[in-house]
Amino acid sequence: MIFHPAHEISQKIKKGKLSPREVVEESIRWAQKLEEKIHSFITLDPEKALERAKKIEEKISRGEETGPLAGIPVAVKDNICTRGIETTCGSKILKGFIPPYNATVVEKLEKAGAIIIGKTNCDEFAMGSSTENSAFFKTFNPWDLERVPGGSSGGSATSVASYQVFLSLGSDTGGSVRQPASFCGIYGLKPTYGRVSRFGLVAFASSLDQIGTFARNVKDLALITEAISGHDPRDSTSLPEEVPPYFDELQDSPRALRIGVPWGLLQEGISAEVKEAFEDALKIFERLGFPILEVSLPHASYGIPTYYLIAPAEASANLARYDGIRFGLREIGEGDLISLYKKTRGEGFGAEVKRRIMLGTFALSLGYREAFYLKAQKVRTLIRKDFEEAFNKVGLIALPTSPTLPFKLGEKVMDPLQMYMSDLYTIPISLAGLPAISIPVGLKNGLPVGMQIVGPPLSESLILKASHVFEMESGLSDLRPPILEEIGV
pLDDT at position 275: 97
Helix (H, G, I), strand (E, B) or coil at 170: strand
SS3 call for 338: helix
Distance CA 3, CA 82 (A): 27
Classify 443 as helix, strand or coil. strand
The half-sphere exposure of 192 on its side-chain side, counting CA atoms within 13 A, is 23
What integer pLDDT is reported at residue 489 of this predicted model?
67
Catalytic residue among 27, 152, 182, 229: 152
Phi-psi region of 98 (alpha: psi -120 to 50; beta: other; left: phi over 0): beta
Q: What is the pLDDT along the chain (489 residues), one digit of tens a residue?
A: 889 999 999 999 999 999 999 999 999 999 999 999 999 999 999 999 999 999 999 999 999 988 999 999 999 999 999 999 999 999 999 999 999 999 999 999 999 999 999 999 999 999 999 999 999 999 999 999 999 999 999 999 999 999 999 999 999 999 999 999 999 999 999 999 999 999 999 999 999 999 999 999 999 999 999 999 999 999 999 999 999 999 999 998 888 799 999 999 998 889 999 999 999 999 999 999 999 999 999 999 999 999 999 999 999 999 999 988 888 888 887 778 889 999 999 999 999 999 999 999 999 998 888 899 999 999 999 999 999 999 999 999 999 999 999 999 999 999 998 999 999 999 999 999 999 999 999 999 999 999 999 999 999 999 999 999 999 999 888 889 999 988 766
Give the count of alpha carbons within 13 A of 304, CB side only: 12
Q: Where are the alpha helices (DSSP H) in 375-459?
A: 375-390, 416-420, 427-432
Phi-psi region of 181 (alpha: psi -120 to 50; beta: other; left: phi over 0): alpha
* pTM: predicted TM-score of the whole model, two decimal places: 0.97
- The single residue of 156, 168, 176, 238 carrying the catalytic annotation is 176
Q: DSSP string covering 199-262, please? A: TTBPPS-TTT-EEEEEESSHHHHHHHHHHHBS--TT-TT----PPP-HHHHTTSPPP---EEE-
152 is catalytic: yes
Q: Tell me, what amino acid is at 311?
A: A
Model pLDDT, residue 26: 95
User: What pLDDT was estimated at residue 367?
Assistant: 85
What is d(CA 390, CA 252) in angstroms, rounded to the nearest whole number? 25
Q: Is-contact 302 379, C-beta < 8 A? A: yes
Q: In terms of CATH architecture, what is 6-264+391-486?
A: Alpha-Beta Complex (3.90)
Catalytic entry in 10, 27, 40, 77: 77
79 within 8 A of 122, measured Cβ to Cβ: yes
339 is catalytic: no
Is 77 among the residues known to form the active site?
yes
